[in-house]
Structure 1
Amino acid sequence: MEFLDGWLHGRNLKGFLAALSDVVGYHFGNLDWDAVEAGLESGSDDGEWFTYPLVGRVEVEISISRTLEEGDCGVKVFLPAGEPCLREQVQVAWSIFNRFDVSPHVDLVD
């Protein structure tokens, strides 16, 4: 297993998770987003990490922390080793969601 880590604009988290889910072949819906929001809110300390699996054609785990500068989150994406182009696809999605502002009210299709 390998991982990528860095930060993400918090307002873009929902859209990033939807895009990441598409990359791995997972359907990320409203129940998933509700679970992520609840997991981030339940942490008593901003330094805690919340981990959520995305299981599609491959399995990835994403860990999120609210620790960085206000409005941003720390993010780690754990990837299976040897999966062709997966790392690059995740990096492209991550780059897009850090470069552009995406509405935090992304509609997820269930």
Structure 2
Amino acid sequence: MVEIRNWLKRDNLKGFLVALSTLVEYRFDSSDWDAVEAGLEPGGDDSSWFTYPLVGQAAFQVAISKHEEEGDIDVKVSADGAGAGPCLGEQVRAVWMVFNRFEIAADVDLLD
């Protein structure tokens, strides 16, 4: 089981999820992004986290904090061992590093 928790620039979330999806060969599209945006809206439930699955060759469970602080959010990524290669954790860490160190365009185009 791979589990990583760290902060992420809120504006980089969309690109980060697209990159994570690529790691597990899941096609993240506009309907996925719409679901994430809706899940992060304040409202109905009292939960401070929104969870979204990315399921392809392996499965990620991505939990995103609904609370933003100075443009940053907390994100937890966990992958179950089934289908996950031995380097998956390191790949997630590398993606995380890129999306924390660089400003990625918030309007990442999704191919539908």
Partner residue, 1:41: 41
Query: How big is the shift at 1:66?
Result: 3.3
State the Cα deviation string for residues 31-82 of structure 1 (Å, max 9, x = none).
Answer: 0000000000044689710000000000111000033522111100011236
Change (3 A) 1:46 1:93: farther
Using the size of structure 1 for normalisation, the TM-score is 0.91
Counterpart pick for 1:105 among 89, 104, 107: 107
Structure 2: distance between partners of 1:83 and 1:68: 32
Query: How big is the shift at 1:84?
Result: 1.0
Partner residue, 1:94: 96
Change (3 A) 1:43 1:64: farther
Change (3 A) 1:99 1:46: farther
Query: How big is the shift at 1:93?
Result: 0.4
Contact kept? 1:66, 1:72, Cα under 8 Å: no
Give the length in aligned residue pairs.
Answer: 110
Which runs of no fewer than 5 residues in structure 2 stay unpaired?
Answer: none
Partner residue, 1:12: 12
Tell which deviates more after alignment, 91-100 or 63-72.
Answer: 63-72
Which residue identity lines up with residue 52 of structure 2 in the other structure? Y
Q: Secondary structure at the match of 1:108?
A: coil
Partner residue, 1:65: 65
Structure 1: distance between partners of 2:41 and 2:100: 22
| Aligned residues with identical type, % of pairs | 55
Q: Secondary structure at the match of 1:76?
A: strand
Structure 2: distance between partners of 1:54 and 1:15: 14
Which runs of no fewer than 5 residues in structure 1 stay unpaired?
Answer: none
Query: What is the RMSD of the two structures over their aligned residues, measured on CA atoms?
Result: 1.9
Contact kept? 2:9, 2:100, Cα under 8 Å: yes
